[in-house]
A and B are shown apart, each in its own frame.
Chain A
């Protein structure tokens, strides 16, 4: 087993799973019926990605575990998702801003991963890219609509950006895991990731009349299993059945 390879897949998988979980919390509570449908749809895509990726991680691990084992039986410190995706939903604008910052990054990542030397990752990236492009279209349209909508919506979404900006830097976090993945061709070149991401983000924020915060307060740690206090509650809820009734078929 190559631990870096497993960690690399888990990082992508956990982003999908945790953000999918957050979005699914909206189900039945959206601002309009069409958005209930859209957010559920995006949640469904993300849970689908997580299912494929976790099952791949379990195979790479070679310990006889399943994707479900990795989702439902790992503890907080073993989760590898970005801090951004575990942040609470807040209002609809907060949810769309979180989604937009993430989608803009994810689109580039999946574009590149299509040429990964790990064929399973390449195949999952190809399928997920189609979904992610739609997610990005949806979230960027809402960021623009709310930014350039009413005075209230502008103030609210600017506040969401101010709140979430501290988690954006983590999108570009790299460490030895990424180095090793690059050396083996599993991770294609991503040196221009930040530049590409900034292009998308600047363009959308300009149209949305939003201002990027100037503070340099950066939070990170998710990739190493150092999370915010929110993740514990997500897992307590998500893993409840498997923890209360272990080793059963459902």
Chain B
């Protein structure tokens, strides 16, 4: 009897999805749907939070007051994104503290791009332009995701990301038309971030274990390779426009398809970084863990104070 009910519920659930009716927190949903969303949303939240570190690295060294303020605002936006993504995951029953513990133990993943170091000021440009650019490609389709709270969070996130991307491109443009040292700095940043940016879309469709089911549930609306292609097609002309060269000898426009063909991605490197062996994986997680440990007494004090205050009120 129970079996029949679940099958029926699943059928009705898929029907709603097919009709583009949003799933809300209190609606029935298959366990796998819930788990997939929790995994994806918390990974996304962790990426925002870990992503604060490589850019935070340059706030105190920004070259002028305007750039400093813009970078501060950008990193603050990322903290805000993290906050509402953790909240979206909480609507599915994932406690924020538990989710964060999963990040610290290495159980949960985050975008592998943040495991690369930011070595020069130009990296702030490259990250804004390429990393936020790739993030937008990934996230715009999620604004139409079947899960209501995630879709709505993403609408707001995307608006801010597009501002981030513009400011990153503007940094690169300024450097590219600056002194020879500045142009070299911009080219070097592009060389280092181009391939990791392409990897941000995840493994090729054939290798991606979650894609088919996620597409059926409309958690995902395009495949990894489709999004990657879209990103390359948009970015190549932008690089040309500011006179920088993409570090890919195989890159060429296919006149027949109208798409750019690009060289082989180093998937061995990608998997190494995902496994925790990138240049900054250890530093990033150690930093987050340290922030949590050193903040323990502050959180305890806040809780104790709130309890005292409540007790005094009721006394």
Contact = CB atoms under 8 A, between A and B. Distances in A.
Interface of A: 21, 24-25, 27-37, 40-41, 43-44, 47-48, 50-51, 54, 67-68, 71-72, 91-93, 144-146, 148-150, 152-153, 156, 237-238, 240-242, 245, 248-250
Interface in B153-181: 171, 174-175, 178-179, 181
A18 to B, nearest CB: 11
Contacts of B60: 21, 24-25, 237-238
A250 B301 contact: no
Given A37-B83, A250-B121, A153 B65 contact: no
B64 A72 contact: yes
B295 A30 contact: yes
Q: Interface SS of chain B: helix, strand, loop or mixed?
A: helix
A148 B64 contact: no
B245 to A, nearest CB: 22
Given A149-B301, A241-B61, A31 B68 contact: no
Interface stretch (B13-21, B74-82, B225-233, B249-257): B74-82
Contacts of A68: 64-65
B299 A31 contact: yes
B287 A250 contact: no
A199 B75 CA distance: 36
Per CB-CB distance, the 10 closest pairs between chain A and chain B, nearest first, are A31-B295, A149-B301, A153-B301, A241-B63, A250-B63, A31-B298, A28-B52, A40-B76, A28-B56, A27-B56
Contacts of B174: 249-250
Interface string B279-297: 0000000010011001111
A177 B61 CA distance: 32
B61 A240 contact: yes
Contacts, number: 136
B39 to A, nearest CB: 20
Given A24-B59, A241-B61, A245-B182, A150 B73 contact: no
Nearest to B61: A240
A80 B178 CA distance: 33
A24 B71 CA distance: 10
B64 A27 contact: no
A238 B52 CA distance: 19
A149 B302 contact: yes
Contacts of B287: 28-29
B246 interface: no
B34 to A, nearest CB: 23
A148 B308 contact: yes
Given A24-B60, A28-B75, A150-B297, A50 B65 contact: yes
Given A36-B52, A245-B181, A250-B171, 14 more contacts: A27-B72, A27-B75, A31-B296, A33-B79, A40-B72, A47-B68, A50-B65, A92-B295, A145-B305, A149-B302, A153-B298, A153-B301, A245-B63, A249-B178
Interface string B296-315: 11111110110010000000
Given A92-B295, A241-B62, A24 B181 contact: no
Contacts of B179: 245, 248
Contact of A47 (B65, B86, B297, B304): B65
B172 to A, nearest CB: 12
A24 B72 contact: yes
Contacts of A25: 60
B179 to A, nearest CB: 6
Nearest to A146: B301
Contacts of B61: 237-238, 240-241
A20 B288 CA distance: 22
Most buried by B among A21, A93, A150: A150
A21 B75 CA distance: 15
A232 B61 CA distance: 14
A70 B97 CA distance: 44
B116 to A, nearest CB: 16
B69 interface: yes
Contact of A27 (B59, B65, B178, B295): B59
B53 A37 contact: no
A113 to B, nearest CB: 21
